[in-house]
Chain A
C-alpha cells in the first residue's frame, strides 16, 4: 500500500481550482513523486462547487481513496462537501479574513489553518494569486520543498512574462512563511522527492497522443464533456503532421465527415460521449457495410439522456456492442488505464484498417479527468506499429479487377477482407453504399449475394479472433478461489483494493478486460473459481450480462451508479461484503 498523501483544493467554479490543482500536481510529478488526480464537479448539494484532488506517493498510485489529508477550502461549502473524507488530523487551509469565511468552524480534531490568502497575494502583487499563496501554505504543511513549485509556475505563467512568474513564486513563499511563523504545529507529513522523471497526463490526452502516434490525420467532432479534451489536444498538434481537426455542426456531421476522410484513405477518428453517440448511431451501419475503417471513441458519462454530464458511468457498453439497427460487425475496445488509453488507441486504428470495420474505443469520465504520472517510457513511440491492411496501389490493382476490369471493393476473400483502393488510384474507381451490395459495391437484393456479403463481413470478425491477441490483464493471486472481473477504469481501484483485501485475509485473482468484442474466453478462469464477481460502474451489470452469456453461468455483481468512480478502499469493502454475504446496503445488484 502506498504511503500516500491526499490533497485537495475546492471552491466555486471560476475560482481557478483546476489550474491551481494542476500546478501542484505537476510540481509533485516533477519532484519525482507519483500522482493520481481526480475532479469533483457539480455538487452533492447544488451549485458550482468544484474540487481538484491529488493523491501522491513515491510508489505508483492507481486510484482515489476515501481520505483527505490536506484541504484548501476557498469556500465554506468545500469543507461540508468533503466531510466524509476528512478525518481527525486533516489540515484545512482557508482565508479567515474573507468575510465569507469568517464563520468557518473547523470540525473537532482537525487542524484549521487560517491564512490571509488574499492579503498576502496583494503583498506579492495581486489578489489574483491567492490560490498560489495557498499552495505555498500547503507546501509547508506537507513539508514539500517549495522550489518544486517554481518549475510548474514557470510552465503555467511563463507566457505571461517574467514579472508575473516571479510574483507568483513570491506569493507561494509568503504563504509558506506565514504557516511556518504563525503555527508551531508539528505536521506529520514529509513529502520526499526522488530523481525519477515523470510525465503527467489524462486519459483524453493519452487518446489524442495515441491518435497522433498512430498516424491519425483527420478528427471531426462536436464538443461534449468529457470527450472535448481529445479534440482540444489534437487541435494544433495534428496540423504539424498535415492533419486537421474539424469542429462539425453536430455529431451526425462529425461521424460522416470522418467517414468521408477515411474513404479518402486518411486514418480518421471522432470522439464523443453518450448523447453524441446516440446521434451517430445510424452511421455505424454505414461504416460497417461500406467497410470503412473508422475509430469511434465514446468517453462515457452518466446517462440516460443528459444524465449527470460531469459524472462517471460505464453505461454505454450495450450501445457500443449493439447500437445501430440491423447487425453491425464491429470491434469494441475499452482501455483500462490512462496509459492504456494511448496503446488501445494505437491498436484501434490498426484493427480498423486491417479489418475495415468501425472500432469503438470506449473510455470513461474517470479516465478522462484523471491525470496520472508515468515514466515517459510508458509511451515508447518505437513500440508503435502501424498496420494498414490490404491497401492496394496502382502496381497491385490489376490483381483485384474482375474480368471487366472493375475494382472489387467488397470482394469476398476467404478471410473476409477485401482490397482497398484509395481514391486517386488509377483503375480503382468504385462505388460503395449502405444498401446491400455486391462485390463491386452495386446495390443488390439477390439472396445469394446478400448472404455472401453478410458472411464475408462476419468472417472478418472471425479472422480477427484468430489473428489477434484478445488477452486480458491479470493481477493478484492467480490461484485464488475468488475471481474479480472488471472492465475500463475500475482497474486502478481494483488493483489497490487487492492490497486491502489481502490485509483482511482475502486472496483474489483479478482479471481486467480491455477487449469487449471480440473478447477473451473466460470459461476456464470462471470454472476454476468458487466466487466470481463482476465489477462495473452501472446499475444493471452490462458486462456481467455478457460474461454470463459467454459461460452460461451466473456471476455476482458489484455495481456503482451514483456518478462517482470506485475508490480503492470502498471497492475492497464491497468485494468483501459480497464474499461474506453481507448486504452492504449499497448499490449492489445481484442476479437471481
Chain B
C-alpha cells in the first residue's frame, strides 16, 4: 500500500453518464475519498456494484471490481472477502438492488458481519428503469406503475439492519460531501459489516425526495450528542421514523467479523501444484 494514494487514483477513465446533478456523483466521490483516506489503493481494493444507475459506480471507479447481476452484489462481496481477507471490500448498489430484489441477502449479510462496507445509494426510486416505485418510496408516491402510490409503508432499512443484528448502522447524504466521506470512512474502519444508507437524490424521476427536502429535514446526530455505542438510543432514533438522521447511529465496538471467528486469514488463491501431501489420507478415511 503506498501512502501517496489520492482519491482520484480510484477514478476510472470512463466518464460518468449519470444525469447532471444526480446524487450518485457525490456518493461516489465520498467513497473514493474514504478509501484513500483509510490507506487503501486500487490494487488491494475490490468494489462490487449492483445493477441500477447506482450500480454504474463499479464502472466509474478504478480498482479490482465486479459489476454483477441485479440484487446479488453482497454475496459476491462476501465471497471475495472470505477468499482473501487482506482485500478491502466495498459493495455499493441502489435501494431496489439492496432492499427489494436483494433484500434476503441484505438481512443475511448483516447477520454474517463480514468485515466490509456496504453503501446503499438510496434515491427512493428505480432510476435506471425510469422511475418506478422502490421499496423506500413513500406510500403515496405516484409512479408509472403505482398510479396511487405503492400503498405500502416504505422499508426502514436502518430498522431492518438493526433487527438483523447489525454491528454498524449509519446514514449519510451525498450532498454533504465532508460528512458523507467521514461516515463512509468510519464504515470502512469498522471491524465488521459497515452499513451506510446514503441519500443520493434522483433529480430526474423523484420530485419529492429532493436535495431541498433532505437539506431541510436532515438532522446530524453529531449535533444531537447521540451516543453511537448505545444500542437502546439507536433503536429509539431508528424507530422514530419521522426524522431523517445523518451520522453513525450504532456501532458495536466489540464486533468480531465472521471470518475472524471462523479463523479465516489465508489467501485462498494460494494452492499447491497437485493434491495435498496427505491427500491419500482422505481416501483411507473410507476404509
B79, A258: Cβ atoms closer than 8 Å: yes
Given contacts A200-B286, A384-B275, A442-B59, contact A428 B82 (CB under 8 A): no
Give Cα distance in the complex from A254 to B72, angstroms: 10
Could you tell me the dominant secondary structure of chain B's interface residues? Answer: mixed
With the chains together, A243 CA to B262 CA distance in Å? 10
Q: Is the CB of B63 within 8 A of A260?
A: no
Q: Which residues of B contact A262 (CB under 8 A)?
A: 79, 83
Stretch at the interface among B22-30, B41-49, B130-138, B185-193: B41-49
Q: For residue B208, which residues in chain A have a CB less than 8 angstroms away from its CB?
A: none
Q: Which residues of B contact A209 (CB under 8 A)?
A: 282-283
Q: How far is the CB of A327 from chain B (nearest CB, A)?
A: 17
Are the CB atoms of B75 and A257 closer together than 8 Å? yes
A423-B75 CB under 8 A given contacts A200-B286, A260-B83 = no
Q: Tell whether A19 is near chain B: CB-to-CB under 8 Å.
A: no
Determine the chain B residues whose CB is within 8 A of the CB of A398 once the complex forms: none
Closest to B2 in A: A426
Q: Does B268 sit at the interface, judged by CB under 8 A?
A: yes
Q: Say yes or no: A249 contacts B104, CB within 8 Å.
A: yes
Q: Classify chain B's interface size.
A: 35 or more
Residue of A205, A424, A432 most packed against chain B (CB within 10 A): A424
Stretch of A106-114, A136-144, A263-271, A467-475 that contacts chain B: A263-271
Q: Is the CB of B67 within 8 A of A213?
A: no
Cα(A425)–Cα(B12), bound, Å: 18
In the complex, are the beta carbons of B83 and A424 less than 8 A apart? no
Task: Please state if A376 and B284 are interface contacts (CB–CB under 8 Å).
Answer: yes
Q: Which residues of B contact A264 (CB under 8 A)?
A: 46, 79-81, 83-84, 87, 267-269
> How near does chain B come to A26, taking the closest CB pair, in angstroms?
8
Q: Is the CB of A261 within 8 A of B69?
A: no
Interface of A is mostly: mixed
Q: Chain B contacts of A517 at CB under 8 A?
A: none
Q: Contact check: which of B13, B87, B280 meets A376 at CB < 8 Å?
A: B280
B276 touches A246 (CB 8 A): no
Closest B residue to A215 using CB positions: B271
Q: Are B76 and A212 in contact (CB under 8 A)?
A: no
Q: Name the residue on A nearest B280 (C-beta).
A: A381
Taking the nearest CB of chain A, how far is it from the CB of B187, in angstroms? 19
B269 to chain A: which residues have CB within 8 Å? 264-266, 422
State which of A212, A244, A286, A443 has its C-beta within 8 Å of the C-beta of B262: A244
What 0/1 readout, one digit per residue, does chain A (325-346) give for beta carbons within 8 Å of chain B?
Answer: 0000000000000000000000
CB contacts under 8 Å to A, within B47-75, are 47-48, 58-59, 61-69, 71-72, 74-75
> Which of A381, A424, A434 is within 8 Å of B275, CB to CB?
A381
Check if B274 is an interface residue, CB within 8 A of chain A. yes
Inter-chain contact B46/A241, CB cutoff 8 Å: no
Residues on A with C-beta less than 8 A from B275 are 212-214, 381-382, 384
Q: Mark B245-287, 1 if CB is under 8 A from A, else 0.
A: 0000000000000000011101111011111100110111011
The CA of A239 and the CA of B267, in the complex, are separated in Å by 13
B121 contacts chain A at the CB level, 8 A cutoff: no
- The answer to the question of A147 belonging to the interface, with a C-beta cut-off of 8 Å to chain B, is no
A321 at the interface (CB under 8 A from B): no
How distant is B93 from chain A, measured CB to nearest CB, in Å?
13
A434 neighbours in B (Cβ, 8 Å): 67-69
- Per-position 1/0 for A425-437, Cβ under 8 A of B: 1111111111100
A577 proximal to B (CB < 8 A): no
Q: Known contacts A218-B83, A443-B59; decide if A256 and B42 are in contact (CB<8 Å).
A: no
Interface string of A302-332 (1 = CB under 8 A from B): 0000000000000000000000000000000
Q: Which of A239, A253, A422 contacts B108 (CB 8 A)?
A: A253
Q: How far is the CA of A218 from the CA of B266 in the complex (A)?
A: 12
Assuming the contacts A376-B284, A384-B275, asked whether A257 and B43 have C-beta atoms less than 8 A apart, the reply is no
List the 6 shortest-distance A-B pairs measured between CB atoms, nearest first: A260-B79, A265-B269, A215-B271, A266-B268, A199-B286, A433-B67
